[in-house]
Amino acid sequence: MPISLNDFRSQAPLLALLLLMALITGYDPGFIQPTAVLGLAADTAALFIMATGITFVVLIGGIDLSSQAVASMASVIVALLLPDFGTWSVPTAIAAGAAAGAISGVLHTRLRLPSFIVTLAVGGVVASLNMLWSGNRTLNIEAADRAASFGWVIGQSAGIPNEVWVAIAVMILCVVIHRKTAFGRFTNAIGSGESAAWASGINVLRVKIISFALSGGLAALSGVMMAGRLSSGSPTLANEFLLPAIAAVLVGGTALTGGVGGIWRTLIGALLVSVVRIGMTFVGVSVFAQQIVFGVILIIAVAFTIDRSKLPVVK
């Protein structure tokens, strides 16, 4: 039975991941050793969690450009509050991220502004607040505070890094939300056709606001995990994460025009981005030059996944 173009597109990210892993393994057989695989999973965890939040926004046909600023904000809040409030600083930081996302959602829906403008502006405001709160410096987290409040991030359980367990929990929760709840079905419906969603009685504005709040909350969780891993909070901690996170969503097969995609695809995309990063590190490509590669990957991913029937005129 011949393989259709749609079938090839849906399987292309997984095939590309397997091909890249095979190439790197040929260069360095140690790449597929259990310790190396677990290290790859741990390195991918924070990126995947941020990309998962962005996935919900992309599914409704929007985009969230504030994720990196929100993640950095969460790291700053944790570093500032941890000495006085201990573990409570973690949910506070995540709640602040969700609030920033909700503000983007409210501005987008109530003022009828494009999501990329709103999230870009909110990201700029959050980045400025990060600078003010931190004094434009890195805030170190004391070893005792880190050990007391970040046991769920650092260390291992059953031989697997705790970061990976957190990512697995987020994945399971978000898969259930997307596939088994009315909210998840509504995100696909809005992305597939917002006018039809309105006509069918879906509260489109509420679903959009929740999607942006979910994106902000998961970006903040990603930032908290990075802070725990690095023992510090910084106003620029996640500055290099936005492009790879969006690339992970789109490379995985979630269409920028919305309505098509899901969490599993984002997982494949995040692993693919991490493997590409490792491959570039092996051949000596600098961190700054890697952004060029991710930009090219992003363009290719959009070209393959975008539904041009929804965009009769490209502006």
Q: pLDDT by residue (tens digit) across 99-136?
A: 999 999 999 999 999 999 999 999 999 999 999 999 99
Using a cut of 0.75, tell me whether the model's pTM lies above it: yes
Kindly report, residue by residue over 75-100, the tens digit of the pLDDT.
999 999 999 998 999 999 999 999 99
The CATH number for 301's domain is 1.10.3470
In a domain, 3, yes or no: no
d(CA 27, CA 21): 10
Select from 18, 126, 124, 37 the least CA-distant residue to 76: 126
In a domain, 311, yes or no: no
In a domain, 66, yes or no: yes
The domain of 162 spans 8-306
Query: Long-range contacts for 283-289 (Cβ within 8 Å, ≥24 apart)?
Result: 287/240
Domains: count for the chain: 1
In a domain, 146, yes or no: yes
Q: Token match 């397997």: residue?
A: 18
pLDDT at position 115 is: 94
- CB proximity list for 142: less than 8 A, separation 6 or greater: 83
pLDDT at position 233 is: 94
In a domain, 1, yes or no: no
Are 117 and 63 in contact by the 8 Å Cβ rule? The answer is: no
How are beta strands 160-161 and 232-233 bridged, if at all? Answer: unpaired
In a domain, 140, yes or no: yes
In a domain, 314, yes or no: no
pLDDT at position 30 is: 75
